[in-house]
Homo-oligomer: A and B are copies of this chain.
Amino acid sequence: MFVNISNNNPDPLYQQVMEQIKDAIVQGLLEPGSSLPSIRNMAKDLKVSVITIKRAYTDLENHGYIVTRPGLGSFVTDLNKERLKDEKMKEIKEKLKYLVGEGFKFNIEIDDMIKILKELKEDS
């Protein structure tokens, strides 16, 4: 199973499940058209309420990552990776903007942040 949840993680359980399935889809671990585990199976595997998985699947469907066919199961949709990348790009830009603002209060410059990123690049 490609999903791991933890009570120590402050995020709600349903969100942890949702994020990890989303990641698996985006990274291609789950092919478009392939079927997801049934809600009941995944609930049993993760020792979690059915309702929690149900909510994760519903949210994924609302965000267009999967489609659920009653009686058949849930399937990964064929989504446009370029569009997803652009959306993520915007999201990251917003978060960077916020971080810059946070740093500004403490006299931390954008250059300091660029320096950190360059270090991270070399480490990897």
CB contacts under 8 Å to B, within A43-59, are none
Taken residue by residue from 91 to 104, chain A's Cβ proximity to chain B (1 for < 8 Å, 0 otherwise) reads as: 01101110110110
Cβ–Cβ contact A108 & B96, under 8 A: no
Taken residue by residue from 2 to 13, chain A's Cβ proximity to chain B (1 for < 8 Å, 0 otherwise) reads as: 000001100010
CB contacts under 8 Å to B, within A75-124, are 75, 81, 84-85, 88-89, 92-93, 95-97, 99-100, 102-103, 105-108, 110-114, 116-118, 120-121, 124
Cβ–Cβ contact A107 & B85, under 8 A: yes
How many copies of this chain are found per oligomer? Answer: 4
A59: nearest residue on chain B (CB-CB)?
Answer: B62
How many chain-A residues does the 8 Å CB contact rule pick out?
A: 42
Tell me if A67 is interfacial: C-beta within 8 Å of chain B: yes
How distant is A105 from chain B, measured CB to nearest CB, in Å?
A: 5
Report Cα–Cα, A83/B79, bound state, in Å. Answer: 28
**Which one, B85, B105, B106, contacts A108 given CB within 8 A?**
B85
Cβ–Cβ contact B116 & A110, under 8 A: no
A86: nearest residue on chain B (CB-CB)?
Answer: B106
Tell me if A26 is interfacial: C-beta within 8 Å of chain B: yes
